[in-house]
Amino acid sequence: MGTSRTPTETPNETPTDPPAGRNEVGLAGRVAAPPDERELPSGDRIVTLRVVVPRADPPRRRKDAADGPRRATVDTIDVVCWTATTRRTALRLQAGDLVELDGSLRRRFFGGPTGRQSRYEVEAGALRRVSGRRSTGT
């Protein structure tokens, strides 16, 4: 008779292997302002933009419900585009455009006026405009 395996187990894995790491981000939201293109001291070109993403409201408690309606809660996410394809796509965007993107969360360190600082941002791997104004070239 053959050996039995669970359906998710592959021949090279053992049930005690730790899960592989994963850093995946998927966002859908509105572009907050026109994208910004700049050249880094290294000579690399990047395009940065901010995406405003609505946040789902947490369940309301009875006391909160009596206080009336809540304001909409949003997250403003910094996005950086490194590849030529994502930079081109980002540069065609305008404030208010609805976008979807897939990428990875990155922590960037830089020198600031008060010393070393860090910031989290999403590095876009794929970016697409879902709806919004079409720019007309002249």
Q: What share of the chain is helix, strand, coil (3-state, %, to 5)?
A: 10, 45, 45
| pLDDT (0 to 100) of residue 137 | 44
Q: Cβ neighbours of residue 93 under 8 Å, at least 6 residues apart? A: 31, 34, 35, 49, 99, 129, 132
| pLDDT (0 to 100) of residue 25 | 96
3-state secondary structure of 87: helix
Which CATH number is 97's domain given? 2.40.50.140
Single-letter amino acid, residue 121: E
- On whether residue 92 sits in a domain, the answer given is yes
Number of domains in the chain: 1
- On whether residue 84 sits in a domain, the answer given is yes
Residues of the chain with pLDDT under 70: 1-16, 60-70, 133-138
- On whether residue 120 sits in a domain, the answer given is yes
- On whether residue 14 sits in a domain, the answer given is no
| pLDDT (0 to 100) of residue 10 | 53
- On whether residue 15 sits in a domain, the answer given is no
| pLDDT (0 to 100) of residue 112 | 83
Q: Which of 21, 22, 23, 29 is nearest to 127 (CA)?
A: 29
Q: Which of 27, 138, 59, 48 is nearest to 93 (CA)?
A: 48
| pLDDT (0 to 100) of residue 68 | 65
Q: Which of 21, 121, 34 is nearest to 78 (CA)?
A: 121
Q: Residue 84: give the domain boundaries.
A: 25-57+72-131
- On whether residue 100 sits in a domain, the answer given is yes
| pLDDT (0 to 100) of residue 130 | 95
Q: Mind listing the pLDDT tens digit for each residue in 6-35?
A: 455 555 555 667 778 999 999 999 999 999
